[in-house]
Amino acid sequence: MEYFPLFLKLTGRSCLVIGGGSIAFRKVSWLLRSGAVVHVLAPDICQPLQELANTSVLKASGECDKPSQVFLNLCPKDRFTRRALAELPLNQHFLVVAATSDEKVNQHIATRCQALDVHCNVASHSSLGDTILPAIIDRSPVVLALHSGAKSPTVTRYLKRQLEAFVPQKINVLVDWAENWRSKVKKRLPASGMRQRLWDRVLSGMAAEHLYDGQAACADKLMQDHLAEAETGHLHGEVFLVGAGPGDPELLTLKALRLIQQADVVLYDRLVSEPILQLLPASCERIYVGKRQADHAVPQVEINQRLVDLAKQGRNVLRLKGGDPFIFGRGGEEIELLAASGVSFQVVPGITAASGCSSYAGIPLTHRDYSQSVRFITGHLKNNQVNLPWPELAMANQTLVFYMGLTGLEQICQSLILHGRAKTTPAAIVEKGTTPQQRVISATLETLATTVAQQKVSAPTLLIIGEVVQLQSQLAWFNR
Ligand code: SAH
């Protein structure tokens, strides 16, 4: 490790930024956020830096919550020669940031600081100084700082974006709450092993989620329950029923991703894509409860019971379902038993196949010219029949989205025609929507079944019927 990370208290300490452009502006902004007194020395000061200085005067006079100050000192360019720099009292400052556009000047500043033993950061070329100002994610009091050894600011920026999405926005609320509970928990659970298990449960579980949702009272209640359980030596687990979306892992919600990465055990079915399973921690036990029509690898009642049993064993259970758990996902059935058994659970919605597949196929589900409503329908066959209110479905100006409609495709199309929907109504099958294997097969109500039969189509597929389907030839964008 070439640079040692440290977090410094800069409140009231003097920092000098040499340079007045946009880079200097960014550095000054961060330094001010930590309460430093910042002096800027530059021949020109850019507008944003000027404005920052004006507002920091307000802060210094106590009109804002955190006093911090910036002093702008204009100076002629000739103050930046090596000789002139040698006369600058750099050692009056705790930190010097060289942010001029002249690399030679920056180099002189760094050399001078080294001689005086003053921390120096060279903004454009960190390896010239002895100090890196890292990329910062500020969720105070939680602060994450990153750098890539002055090698690639672009990689650092990329990582920062990834982490920004991952660190909960309200992590500060969690920190304050945990601080409040810390001594109470320690008193009631003197054994450090059980205490650690309790905190693991709380921080990766429902209590934290309640706090992020602004429900502090629920989090407190859960903590009381967990504490009481922990005192008996047995901590109950929780179940998260999470929608994994239609396939593309990028379509997971932030909450889903967070819970996936915290799971002790996952129960998943066939629709959950492999790239999503790869996001699970290596230590997470995987239980496949795959479902295919008429081929339920594990019967539904058994899945429901297993969720209860695993949670009662004290595990953090992730029930991962394709799309949205509450849309043709039997999510309701699974949580009914959890509720009846007193197991804590939470439901995280996912992008349902209708939304994901239609977007990735370039088929808007509603459109002012073609469709005023959309219906999500199951095309599942019961006794070889699709029993649906066909006269309603055959009405024009609406989009029909059939889940599980491949086997009954011909029956669906014929029934609609029989009840008055035009034979020429555009219709499409989206196969493996949102994945790299996505295919869209477009035809009409009259021809779709034959067209699909001619191509080797495999599940999962979504059937979309309505005038909006004609837009697909114009609007398709994915996998082009
Ligand atoms: N809860 C899921 C739906 C489960 S029913 C959701 O909200 O999406 C299973 C049906 O969903 C499949 O038969 C198929 O019709 C549809 N489906 C799910 N993922 C799909 C995908 N990636 N591409 C096409 N259809 C999909």
Q: Compute CA distances 22 → 46, 59, 99, 101, 172, whole Å.
A: 7, 22, 9, 10, 30
Residue 345 in contact with residue 335, Cβ under 8 Å?
yes
Best residue among 357, 403, 452 to mutate for probing ligand 1's pocket (most ligand atoms within 8 Å of CB) is 403
CA of 478 to the centre of ligand 1 (A): 18
Concatenated DSSP letters of 375-419: EEEE---BTTB----HHHHT-SSEEEEEES-STTHHHHHHHHHHT
For residue 61, the tally of other CB atoms under 10 A from its CB is: 10
CA of 405 to the centre of ligand 1 (A): 10
Phi, psi of 380 (to 5 degrees): -60, 135
What pLDDT sits at residue 383? 81
Q: Report the Cα–Cα distance between both ends of the chain, in Å, rounded.
A: 44
What pLDDT sits at residue 64? 47
Name the residue type at position 207. A
- Please give the Cα distance from 405 to 382 (Å, whole number): 12
Domain boundaries, the chain: 14-133, 171-230, 239-348, 355-475
CA of 310 to the centre of ligand 1 (A): 27
What pLDDT sits at residue 295? 57
- Please give the Cα distance from 407 to 253 (Å, whole number): 31
Residue 170 in contact with residue 212, Cβ under 8 Å?
yes
CA of 292 to the centre of ligand 1 (A): 11
- CATH topology for 239-348? Cobalt-precorrin-4 Transmethylase; domain 1 (3.40.1010)
Residue 124 in contact with residue 103, Cβ under 8 Å?
yes
- % the chain with pLDDT above 70: 96
For residue 335, the tally of other CB atoms under 10 A from its CB is: 21
List the binding residues: 22-23, 43-44, 246, 322-324, 327, 352-353, 404, 433
Residue 198 in contact with residue 191, Cβ under 8 Å?
no
What pLDDT sits at residue 136? 93
Cβ < 6 Å from ligand 1: which residues?
246-247, 271, 321-324, 327-329, 352-353, 357, 403-404, 430, 432-434, 459-462
Strands 142-146 and 135-139: antiparallel
CATH number, domain 14-133: 3.40.50.720
Ligand 1 atom closest to residue 325's alpha carbon, by position in its atom list: 1
What pLDDT sits at residue 149? 79
Residues of the chain whose pLDDT is less than 50?
62, 64
Task: Supply the residue whose CA is at minimum distance from atom 16 of ligand 1.
Answer: 403
Largest CA distance in the chain: 93
What pTM does this model have?
A: 0.78
CA of 461 to the centre of ligand 1 (A): 7
CA dihedral sign of residues 7, 10, 16, 21: positive
What pLDDT sits at residue 268? 96
CA of 84 to the centre of ligand 1 (A): 71
Residue 349 in contact with residue 322, Cβ under 8 Å?
no
SS (H, E, C) 191-247: CHHHHHHHHHHHHCCHHHHHHHCCCHHHHHHHHHHHHHHHHCCCCCCEEEEEECECC
- Please give the Cα distance from 331 to 328 (Å, whole number): 8
CA of 328 to the centre of ligand 1 (A): 8
Residue 105 in contact with residue 20, Cβ under 8 Å?
no
The CATH number of 355-475, from 1.10.357.10, 2.40.30.10, 3.30.950.10, 3.50.30.30, is 3.30.950.10
- Please give the Cα distance from 432 to 412 (Å, whole number): 20
Q: List the catalytic residues.
A: 269, 291
